[in-house]
Amino acid sequence: MADAGNVRITVLYFAAARERTGQVRESLDLPEGSHVRDVLRLLSAKYAALAPLLPHLRVAVDQEFVGPDAPVRDGAELALIPPVAGGAPGKFLVVDRPLRLEEVVEAVSGESYGGLVTFSGSVRNQTKGRRVLRLEYEAYAPMAEKKLAEIGAEAAERFPGVRVSIIHRVGTLVPGELAVVIAAASPHRKEAFGGCEYAIERLKQDVPIWKKEFFEDGEVWVGLGP
C-alpha cells in the first residue's frame, strides 16, 4: 500500500526494455495526480541504459495503449511496449508450444462457411544475407491475446460474415518452425481472403509480441536495429 498522498503502480518490462533495466516488473510510488510522462521521467533517471530507448516505446496502462498525459491511478499496471516484431468468434492465443494449422482451421470452420483462407508464418533461415540460428519471441501475453481478439472483431466488421482465429507462439524457435497461424472463414471467398490479409497486417502493428534474431555474428531485437 502506498503512503498517504502517493499512488503505487506496477511497471512491466519486456524484450529490450527488460534487458536494459534488468527488471521484469517492479513497484513504484508516485505522488497523487501523476501522469505517464512522470513515470517515464523517473525511469529515465533511474535506468541510464533505458533512456535512449524510451522515445521508441509505447505505454500501456491496464492493457490499453495511452499517451504521456494519461493519469496513473493507485494499483495501475503500466507496461513499457517496445516496437512489435506485427470479441469475434474464433480462438486467439499466445502459447509456448509447437503450432498446428488445424487448430485455427477448426476454430472457424462451419457448414455455412464455404470460403476458408489460412496463413502460416515460419522462421526463415536468413535475414538480409545473415544466417539465422534461432529466434526468441516474447509477449505481454494477456494484452496480446486481447489485441488478437480485437483484430478478429475488426475483421468481422470490415468483412461481413468473416470470422478469424490467430495463435502466436513464444519462446525459442529455429528455422522452419511455425511462429503464427491464422485462419479466416466466410460464406464467400472474397471476405475470407480480405479477413486473413487484414489480420496479418494488423498483427504487425499493435500486438505486444517481440522477436529477437540470433545470428552467427550477433543478435538484434527486430524493430530496434543493431
Q: What is the spatial distance between Cα 13 and Cα 18, in angstroms, rounded to a whole number?
A: 5
C-alpha R_g of the chain: 19
Residue 122 in contact with residue 176, Cβ under 8 Å? yes
Q: What is the mean pLDDT of residues 127-148?
A: 94
Helix (H, G, I), strand (E, B) or coil at 217: coil
Domains of the chain: 6-81 (3.10.20.30), 92-221 (3.90.1170.40)
Which pLDDT value is given to residue 87? 42
Largest CA distance in the chain: 61
Q: What is the mean pLDDT of residues 1-17?
A: 86
Which pLDDT value is given to residue 206? 85
Q: What is the mean pLDDT of residues 84-99?
A: 76
Which pLDDT value is given to residue 54? 85
212 sits in which H/E element = strand 209-215
pLDDT tens digits for 185-205? 999 999 999 999 999 999 988
> Does residue 93 carry a pLDDT above 90?
yes
> Does residue 135 carry a pLDDT above 90?
yes
Which pLDDT value is given to residue 84? 67
Residue 130 in contact with residue 215, Cβ under 8 Å? yes
**Residue 88 confidence class, pLDDT cut points 50, 70, 90:** very low
